[in-house]
Amino acid sequence: MKQEALEKIILETIDIPSLPPVAMKVLQLISNDSSSLDELEDILEKDQSFSARLLRIANSPYYGKNRSVDSIGKAIILIGFNTMKSLVVAASLRDMHRKFGIFEQKLWEHGLAVSIAASQIATDTKMLKPDEALVCGLVHDMGKIVLNTSLSDTYSMVIERIYAEQGLSFIDIENEMLGFNHCNVGGLIARKWKLPKNLEAVIEFHHTDKPPIFDDPSYEASCQLIRIADAICLHIGIGFKREIDLYTLGLEYIGYNEKQVQDLIERVKKAYVEQKTSLME
Ligand SMILES: [Fe+2]
Ligand SMILES: [Fe+2]
């Protein structure tokens, strides 16, 4: 189906949510050259839990080594404008859930695991900056959050089938039951929200073996890294679990042999336990 026709169907089916207000305001401010850090800090002071979450991600060991970011102003200077935008989106995901039950918890655990795996692979291969890999991992399944909140009755049937028919992927069940999937929805929303282009690419193409050719070649690396990290985390079973033959994944893309994959799996499990509490709140 043509992209336009597909987007039309999605728009007719779901209400496109807006980003949480604090995230919207922050994105607007950092996009506007004339706004000051004071203004930004004013907004964030009003939402302590959001700003605490933002700083927690910025200080994650997978975000950058030995970095101590204790203020948003410092974060922008250290991290840079584009990555800061991605970070704001990652920090606001939790507020997009209407409720936070078992499925939402699993989705969050899966996103965290994928972000850890992706930043480990990024560190090993130098294909991407670990900080970029981390935010890409956190937001890659944003389309699922939107479907789960905007189309909750139908999506709860998708979720039931995921639990009941192990081995099937979200994409397969979504396509069958909705006619589109979380990547289509996520890509559309990333464009509506004018998210950074690398995030848009990952959100839309993280389940595609051969993503399209992008203007910036690093976007393909982001998509492939998240695709592989996603499969490895499903194999481990953090959040969601699905039987996956890791050796049909195209691991040559990241240049790992069998032993390196096993080593990565162990590192991800360990890092996940260490990171879970600090990034969960
Ligand atoms: Fe996905
Ligand atoms: Fe995923």
Kindly report, residue by residue over 223-264, the tens digit of the pLDDT: 999 999 999 999 999 999 998 888 888 888 899 988 999 999
Question: So what's the pLDDT on residue 64?
Answer: 57
* For the CA of 234, the nearest ligand: 2
Determine what percent of the chain falls in helix, strand and coil, rounding each to the nearest 5: 70, 0, 30
Identify the nearest ligand to the CA of 202 by its number.
1
Helices vs. strands in the chain: H and E counts, helices first: 15, 0
Span from the CA of 109 to the centroid of ligand 1 (angstroms) = 13
Hey, what amino acid is at 159?
A: I
* Confidence (pLDDT) at 47: 86
- Within a 10 A sphere around the Cβ of 246, how many other Cβ atoms? 17
Question: Which protein residues have their CB within 5 A of the ion that is ligand 1?
Answer: 141
Compute the distance from residue 41 Cα to the ligand 2 centre, in Å.
Answer: 33
**pLDDT for residue 161:** 95
- How far does the centroid of ligand 2 lie from the alpha carbon of residue 38, in Å? 37
Residue 93: its pLDDT value, please? 87
Buried b (16+ CB within 10 A) or exposed e, 85-113: bbbbbbbbbbbbbeeeeebbebbbbbbbb
Ligand with an atom nearest the CA of residue 207: 1
Whole-number Å distance between alpha carbons of 248 and 238: 20
Model confidence over 218-231: pLDDT tens digits? 899 999 999 999 99
Token pair listed for 219: 């976007």
CA of 72 from ligand 1 middle (Å) equals 30
Ligand number, closest to the Cα atom of 144: 1
pLDDT score recorded for residue 278 = 67
Q: Cα of 233 to ligand 2 centre, how many Å?
A: 8
Query: Mean pLDDT of all residues in the chain?
Result: 88
Rounded CA gap, 11 and 41, in Å? 35
Which alpha helices (H) appear in 32-151, and where do they start and end?
Answer: 37-45, 48-58, 72-79, 81-96, 102-125, 130-139, 142-150
Residue 160, pLDDT score? 95
Tell me, in angstroms, the distance from the centre of ligand 1 to residue 143's CA. Answer: 8
Report residue 51's pLDDT band, with 50, 70 and 90 as the boundaries. confident
Ligand whose nearest atom lies closest to the CA of 231: 2
Taking the centre of ligand 2 as the mean of its atom positions, its distance from the CA of residue 16, in whole angstroms, is 21
Answer positive or negative: Cα dihedral of 255, 273, 139, 119: negative
User: CA-CA distance, 27 to 9, in Å (whole number)?
Assistant: 28
Spacing, Cα 22 to ligand 1 middle (Å)? 26
* Ligand whose nearest atom lies closest to the CA of 106: 2
Residue 65 has pLDDT above 60, yes or no: no
* Residue pLDDT, tens place only, 169-215: 999 999 999 999 999 999 999 999 888 899 999 999 999 988 889 98
Verdict on whether the full-model pTM lies above 0.85: yes
Compare 52 and 11 and report the one with higher pLDDT. 11
How far, in Å, is the centroid of ligand 2 from the Cα of 47? 29
- CATH number corresponding to 14-280: 1.10.3210.10
Report the separation in Å between the CA atom of 68 and the middle of ligand 1, taken as the mean of its atom positions. Answer: 31
